[in-house]
Amino acid sequence: GAVVSQHPSWVICKSGTSVKIECRSLDFQATTMFWYRQFPKQSLMLMATSNEGSKATYEQGVEKDKFLINHASLTLSTLTVTSAHPEDSSFYICSAFDRTDTQYFGPGTRLTVL
C-alpha cells in the first residue's frame, strides 16, 4: 500500500523556538494533505488542510500564524510550529489520500517543548 512518512519522529525543543515537521507521500502524489494533533488520551483533531500550490485551510481555533503550513510539491507538506510553548507539546500526524481514496497516515511526530 501507499506510504506516508514524517520527519522527525520526535523532537524536543526549548520554549520560544520554531520546529518544522515534514510530511511526505512516498509513492503517490497528494494535492491535499491533512495535519492532525492528538493530545494524550484524546482523539485526533484536524488542524488544517494543506493544499499544493495554494494556502492552507485552517480549522476554527487554530492560529494560522503560529502553525505555518507549506505544501510546495505534490509529495511534501511541512508544518512549522512557531515560537513553540509547552502547551504545544503533542503528537502531530499528517495524512493523505491516494488515488484509490484510501487515507494513509504518517507515523507521527512527538513534539515536547520544555
Partner 1 sequence: GQNIDQPTEMTATEGAIVQINCTYQTSGFNGLFWYQQHAGEAPTFLSYNVLDGLEEKGRFSSFLSRSKGYSYLLLKELQMKDSASYLCAVRSGGYQKVTFGIGTKLQVIP
In our burial notation (b when 16+ CB lie closer than 10 A, e otherwise), range 26-64 reads eebebeebbbbbeeeeeeeeebbbbebeeebebeeebee
Minimum separation from the CB atom of position 39 to partner 1 (A): 11
Selected range binding partner 1 among 16-24, 71-79, 81-89, 105-113, rule: CB under 8 A: 105-113
Selected range binding partner 1 among 13-21, 42-50, 68-76, 77-85, rule: CB under 8 A: 42-50
Q: Which residues bind partner 1 (CB under 8 A)?
A: 32, 34, 36, 42-46, 49, 91, 93, 97, 101-108, 110
